[in-house]
Chain A
Amino acid sequence: MSTEFNIVSEIYNNTLVMRTDGYINNVAGEKIIAEFSKNFSGSMNKVVMDLGKSKVVNSIGISYLIDIIEKLNESNGKLVFTSLDPTIEKTFNIMGIFQFAQKADSVEAALK
């Protein structure tokens, strides 16, 4: 249904960086998981998700992000969200996401 969501990923120094663009909902969540599964390797201990171009997220989308956090926890990896819209940041705060994931102002800051 959501025709606008896009995701691209790159790997910098063994860190997977995924950049989303659009509404993070069910369809987007599936795309995020697929992109993560395609590019994540067990040797990575950090994944960065840049949500700068995503202004809206629903709880189904969040549940997929939690899946990624849980998968990373299994391998002692961590997830860092960057460029968060204030509304999304507040949403993640309320949902307790930042108990298990981190946030940074930018991808560059997250890669440090």
Chain B
Amino acid sequence: MEHNLLVEKLSLQAESFQEGFEILIKCSNFDEITKNFWHLLRGNFLVTNIHILHKLSFGAEWKIITSQTIEESLDQSLLEHKEHLSIKYITNKKYNAVVVIPLSDSSYLGILVGKKLDGGDLNDFDKITLQILLQVFSSAYNSFLNQKNEKKLIFELNEKILQLNHLIDADIELSRYDKQNVLFDLAIERVVSLTNASSALIKITNTEDGSVERQITFPSNLNQEIIINSPHKIEFAFEFNNKRYLFVLSEKETRKGATSFSDLDKLLLQAISRQVQASIENEFLLGQSLEKERIEKELNLAAAIQQRIIPKELPKIDGYEIAGINIPSKEVGGDYYDCIELTDGKYALIIADVAGKGISAALLVNTLNAALYSYLEFNLPLTDLADKLNKLIFKSSPSDKYITFFIAVLNSKTGDLDILNAGHNPIFLVRNNLELEQVEAGGIGLGMLDFGIPYEGKKLTLEVGEKLFLYTDGIPEAMNINEEEYSDERMIEFLKNNSEKKPANFIALIVSDVKNHVGAAQQSDDITSLFLKRIK
């Protein structure tokens, strides 16, 4: 009968237990759960004197969580150190029951149930109710922990998605920047955010002398020593263009303090650092490309200057045939030739070669050309002309620039040649008996020195049938793919075998022969030649 009554009462209470469970699982934190549980216990047992305590682990101290009044004399010794559920019904002045519940997170809940309002002890129904409520609490607490874990998992999942997203964004952003100050600021911000680093450093040192060129810290006013000396740090470095870029992250943050960085953090640091490296390399390559473009423009300009100076057509000289050629190499050189008509049937045949290439060489040729035209009007002796040109070129060129120069003033009526060779290759006069006469006399190249060293001229006569062969070193020094030169010997042999040909033919043939020798190799220097033949 008593048993049936008990079951009937519990059935009536079932709905109340369900409501209690629903209240508890809606709680958002531990304090709220225990507070509501405390109310449930009080309401069910009509007990005001109930204390709930909690300890984080088996060996930890109990802490009072809920109590209607703070009693200094709360006897914690009643709470036995047991690892499993313990309900002890006692009879003393204060308490009816002492409960210890192990919770699923390894913490413990302690409950001291005081006397009922009527001063009585807990009856059988109360004891069963207490056991059910303890079960309700455990279930609600498990649900709370599950929700908490679920939130944590969602947070961690979102954090990973965020890291991936930030990494992709950072890669795109970093690849866009060509200004290094913006690049480093952005990289350091992204990498601390990605890894939860407390601070970071980017240090750029010169690998040749070890000097520090730049250092960027995050936060910006932080002493770099704090980062360098941190017990929790990771580093990554790369070298490029004589600079070492060191990336340091210090103190990975958690809400419980600093911790060591994970392998993932190291990968993230590497990824960001590599992207910075790629951006720096790209910036460098872009700079090189722009420089190359600038040089190409300069070379085109130099080529244009040079081509304007090289005569498009040589003058027709009565009693003579003349032909010339200038084939500039890819890098514009400073070769020059001309045949300038003077007065009284005289002509100046000139060939010259500026040491060096590029726009400065082309400009120097331009200077030589302009000066020549001016000085030749004064009909100066060639030694004086060479002296004046030497002074001019010396003044208007850097120390490493000079011009090898050959001039022959032809009196077309007599075949007399007034010759001066200023440091140029020996010029060949092909006599009618096919003997070659080398013309070397003269002096140093123009602009080489300005010590007043006198130039020396030479006088020769070109008889009918004889030829004068002027060339630059682009012919004998033309190299094939095996770096073998065309050579003086082969050129002389060619000259001997082909000098009877008409000058235009001769020039075309020797160029063809040189090109055959060079083959697939790139033309390394200008090819320039002038060939004069007296025909009557």
0/1 string, A82-112, CB within 8 A of B gives 1? 0000010011001110000000000000000
Whether, in the assembled complex, A63 has its beta carbon less than 8 Å from a beta carbon of chain B, the answer is yes
Whether, in the assembled complex, A20 has its beta carbon less than 8 Å from a beta carbon of chain B, the answer is no
A58 touches B219 (CB 8 A): no
Whether, in the assembled complex, B3 has its beta carbon less than 8 Å from a beta carbon of chain A, the answer is no
CA distance A104 to B382 in the complex (A): 88
Name the contact of A58 in the complex, choosing from B154, B192, B222, B226 (C-beta under 8 A): B192
Q: Which residues of B contact A25 (CB under 8 A)?
A: 196, 198, 253
CA distance A71 to B164 in the complex (A): 30
A57 touches B199 (CB 8 A): no
0/1 string, A64-80, CB within 8 A of B gives 1? 10100010011000000
CA distance A96 to B196 in the complex (A): 18
Q: Which residues of B contact A41 (CB under 8 A)?
A: none
CA distance A60 to B255 in the complex (A): 7
Nearest chain A CB to B210 CB, angstrom units? 28
B165 touches A90 (CB 8 A): yes
Instruction: State the majority secondary structure of interface residues on A.
Output: helix
B155 touches A95 (CB 8 A): yes
Chain A, range 14-69, C-beta contacts under 8 Å to B: 22-23, 25-27, 29, 55-60, 63-64, 66
B159 touches A59 (CB 8 A): yes
A58 touches B158 (CB 8 A): no
CA distance A91 to B158 in the complex (A): 9
| Inter-chain contact total with CB atoms closer than 8 Å | 75
CA distance A15 to B253 in the complex (A): 31
Chain B, range 215-262, C-beta contacts under 8 Å to A: 218-222, 226, 250-251, 253-255, 258
A3 touches B219 (CB 8 A): yes
B254 touches A55 (CB 8 A): no
Q: Which residues of B contact A29 (CB under 8 A)?
A: 255
Whether, in the assembled complex, B189 has its beta carbon less than 8 Å from a beta carbon of chain A, the answer is yes
A23 touches B255 (CB 8 A): no
Name the contact of A4 in the complex, choosing from B159, B161, B221, B255 (C-beta under 8 A): B221
Whether, in the assembled complex, B487 has its beta carbon less than 8 Å from a beta carbon of chain A, the answer is no
Name the contact of B158 in the complex, choosing from A4, A60, A87, A94 (C-beta under 8 A): A94
Chain B interface bracket (under 10, 10 to 19, 20 to 34, 35 or more): 20 to 34
Whether, in the assembled complex, B28 has its beta carbon less than 8 Å from a beta carbon of chain A, the answer is yes
A94 touches B255 (CB 8 A): no
B254 touches A60 (CB 8 A): yes
B161 touches A94 (CB 8 A): yes
A63 touches B162 (CB 8 A): no
Chain B, range 424-445, C-beta contacts under 8 Å to A: none
Q: A3-B219, A55-B189 are in contact. Are A91 and B255 (CB under 8 A)?
A: no
B199 touches A1 (CB 8 A): yes
CA distance A23 to B195 in the complex (A): 13
Nearest chain B CB to A41 CB, angstrom units? 19
Q: Which residues of B contact A95 (CB under 8 A)?
A: 155, 158-159, 162
CA distance A55 to B185 in the complex (A): 11
Q: A23-B192, A23-B219, A60-B253 are in contact. Are A1 and B198 (CB under 8 A)?
A: yes
Nearest chain B CB to A40 CB, angstrom units? 16
27 A-B pairs in the complex with CB atoms less than 8 angstroms apart:
A1-B199, A1-B226, A1-B251, A1-B258, A2-B198, A2-B199, A3-B222, A4-B219, A4-B221, A5-B219, A22-B219, A25-B198, A26-B255, A55-B189, A56-B192, A56-B193, A58-B193, A58-B197, A59-B196, A60-B253, A60-B254, A60-B255, A63-B155, A87-B193, A90-B165, A91-B166, A91-B193
* 4 other A-B residue contacts (CB within 8 Å) besides A1-B258, A4-B221, A59-B155: A3-B222, A23-B218, A74-B28, A87-B169
| Chain B residues in the interface with A (C-beta under 8 A) | 28, 154-155, 158-159, 161-162, 165-166, 169, 189, 192-193, 195-199, 218-222, 226, 250-251, 253-255, 258
| Chain A residues in the interface with B (C-beta under 8 A) | 1-5, 22-23, 25-27, 29, 55-60, 63-64, 66, 70, 73-74, 87, 90-91, 94-96
